Amino acid sequence: MKKKILSSLTAVAIATSVISTPGIPLNPVKVEAAQDALKPTYETRSEIPDEFKWKLDHIYETKAAWEADVKKVEQMANDFTAHQGKISKSQDSLVKALNSYSDLMRLTDKVYVYANMSFDVNSTNPDLQELADKAGNVLTLVSEKTSWFAPEVAAMQANKLEKYLKSDEMKPYAMFVGDIIREKEHTLSTELEKLLAQISPLSSNPEDVYGALMTNIKFPMIKDETGKDIQLSRSNFISYMESENRNVRKAAFEGFYSTMEKYQDTFAQTISGNVKAHNINANVRNYDSALEASLSANNVPVEVYDNLVKTVNDNLPLLHRYMELKKKLLEVDELHMYDIYTPIVDYQADYIPYSKAKEMVKNGLKPLGPEVQSIIDKSFNEGWVDVYSTPDKRSGAYQWGAYDTHPYMLLNYQGTLDDTYTIAHEVGHALQSHYTNAKQPYMTSNYPIFTAEVASTLNEALMFKEMYNNAKTKEEKLYLLNQYLENFRGTLFRQTQFAEFEKAIHDMDKAGESLNAEALKKLYRDINAKYYGKTMISDEEIAMEWARVPHFYYNFYVYQYATSFAASQALSKQVMEEGDVAVKRITENFLSAGSSDAPLEVLKAAGVDMSTAKPIEDAMKVFEQTLDEMEKLLEE
């Protein structure tokens, strides 16, 4: 996943909270338990060899250097108010303000990224907590001091702005100003924008409480495959859900969700507060819905969301068919939700050392050409990646960085095939950041998640094709086919399931209905039962799964995983069929585009039209063909 920060948003959305990275795997892949004896394990960060840690001194060599830039940001933010009331006087006045705004946001990115990345790998360090808190305070200050800017630009005469935008000096700001004009009816007065900026930290409170609660919940002890007592946790939950021993995965499933249920009312309060904040923001800004408000910030029509949900619903019989195959291969009388992650193909997947995983990624991405290979080498060898986990390191994975840094990738590598795919995924984000920063000016250097996740899942698709083409045995092919089907289930189907739930809870709150724990559990269980069909027993415990998903605090975020996955299937097909022609088109028109155009237009230039349901339908055909191939192999 790519992390996103405040200054990458348009000015009209500047009061929104920072989006943070998920803490659970998005596409769990079923593999045999890794060989524990081969796993490097570290209790503290100091134990990890430097070659496996990212080099944040590439950003700031010392804390004093960071503090100097913090003071500079504070001064720049205060100085920026000098432009207030003057930008409409002349083109030169507007350009000067835009230049100042760009410089301010560019440096804000840098200080914010450094502080939070430092904290993410050592979250029990109070000094780093203080650093992150200070960065957050600076971000709030910047929001306050720039809150007047969008309303004042929006208030300028349209014909004057259009004339200004034709000049060379305004070219770097054309999209930025264009977005302000596009969102003019949703931009409030200077006073209200300032007020929203001041109270914006409150909107992140539900997510903060949720994160603190999840960090402090202690899950029960369960017995592993050998009968040994082990501590169940957020980080090992999925690995035990993948166990071939049904008793182990059932114990993990029931232990995890029964514990979550003890806190159901608190979870309901946090998610309800989050939803209310979204709905209030949409109402204040004159949007028809929170969904429209969220998508409008990235210039994505609501129809894209609706097309996704409808098309996936139309194709649910394919997922039901896959569940029937799972039940048959697992040889169970009843298929339960705790069976969903377990391998259905008898294939030994050994622990993959990190060195081998890197080579697998490079081989999988060879179709993207030698230039990409050289960038990957650089990322692996020059301190871009933080590899191994410690108890106080943030879970999950992400790619982040600022315009004036190289991309960084956070991993929690455990040696599974899923971890290898995660490397390819984050490398996709890193490539997009690298190319965009090289080609785009700062103001169009960032890119929305809608396009970001296409780059990452494109890499995953190419990885699968390379591995499947080189598979030597029937068992290996079956294993890879199953893994690919699981990617579809975990991304295209599951993330759309999440998207449907997310829209429903916002609609419920808007209609005045209570988002209490029982209502949330019923809604989630009903949607889950619809997606998995009659073959699957929708266990009572699964009704609490909504509380495990941090994505629901990210304001209509998850649908983009599904749309991106569909788009990447189309682009990977073009790469394999067209070769260098497709690679050049994708690199120049997509990976290097940033936010220089609307995301739908960027993808259209790359070769896929997400304004229609066709990419989703085509992806469903790939899912069906993969399912056909697996069933055919099983019959041989």
Nearest to 555 by CA among 13, 12, 10: 13
Q: Coil, helix or strand for 400?
A: strand
**Rounded Cα–Cα distance for residues 312 and 82 (Å):** 51
User: What pLDDT, on the 0 to 100 scale, is given for residue 5?
Assistant: 46
Helices 417-439, 354-364: axis angle to 10 degrees equals: 60
Chain CA centroid to CA 145, Å: 29
SS3 496: helix
- What confidence tens digit (pLDDT) does each residue in 379-388 have? 999 999 999 9
* 398-400: strand order across its sheet: 385-386, 408-410, 398-400
**Backbone φ and ψ of 389, nearest 5°:** -95, 155
- Write out the E strands in 24-164: none
Residue 278, Cβ density class (10 Å: 0-12 exposed, 13-18 middle, ≥19 buried): buried
Does 336 have pLDDT greater than 60?
Answer: yes
Catalytic residue ranges: 426
Region 90-115: mean pLDDT is: 97
- What pLDDT sits at residue 30? 32
Domain range 6-22+50-207, CATH architecture: Up-down Bundle (1.20)
Residue 391 pLDDT > 90: no
Confidence band, pLDDT 50/70/90 cuts, at residue 26? very low
Banded model confidence at residue 38, pLDDT cuts 50, 70, 90: low
Give this prediction's pTM.
0.83
What are the tens digits of pLDDT across the range 472-497? Answer: 899 989 999 998 999 999 999 999 99
Q: Is the pLDDT of residue 127 over 50?
A: yes
Q: How confident is the model at residue 192 (pLDDT cuts 50, 70, 90)?
A: confident
Shortest CA distance to 213 belongs to which of 205, 201, 222? Answer: 205
pLDDT for 530 beyond 90: yes
Please tell me the predicted confidence (pLDDT) of residue 13: 27
Q: What are the boundaries of each domain within the chain? A: 6-22+50-207
Instruction: Identify the helix (H) or strand (E) that includes residue 144.
Output: helix 126-146
Instruction: Report the candidate in 572, 374, 619 with the shortest Cα–Cα distance to residue 456.
Output: 572
In the chain the first and final C-alpha atoms are separated, in Å, by: 39
**In DSSP terms, which residues pair with 386 in a beta bridge?**
410
pLDDT the model gives residue 347: 74
Q: Rounded CA gap, 613 and 616, in Å?
A: 5
Whether the Cβ atoms of residue 624 and residue 618 lie closer than 8 Å to each other: no
Q: For residue 181, what pLDDT is reported?
A: 85
pLDDT tens digit sequence for 132-154: 999 999 999 999 999 999 989 99
Please calculate the CA angle 187-167-75 and round it to the nearest 5 degrees: 55
Q: Is 538 strand, coil or helix?
A: coil
Token pair recorded at residue 496: 């759309």
Mean pLDDT of 179-208: 80
Of 207-216, 280-289, 425-434, 515-524, the one with minimum mean pLDDT is 207-216
Structural contact between residues 155 and 424, judged by C-beta atoms closer than 8 angstroms: no
Average pLDDT over residues 177-198: 82
Q: What is the pLDDT of residue 10?
A: 30
Contacts of 77 (CB under 8 A, 6+ apart): 104, 138, 141, 142, 144, 145, 146
Beta carbons within 8 Å of 324's beta carbon, 6+ residues apart: 535
Closest CA to 628 of 323, 321, 332: 321
Parallel, antiparallel, or unpaired for β 408-410 and 385-386?
parallel
Is there a contact between 501 and 521 (Cβ–Cβ < 8 Å)?
no
What is the sign of the dihedral through the CA atoms of 492, 493, 494 and 495?
positive
| Segment holding 276, helix H or strand E | helix 264-284
Q: For residue 223, give the H/E element and its range.
A: strand 221-223
Nearest to 589 by CA among 575, 570, 576, 604: 604
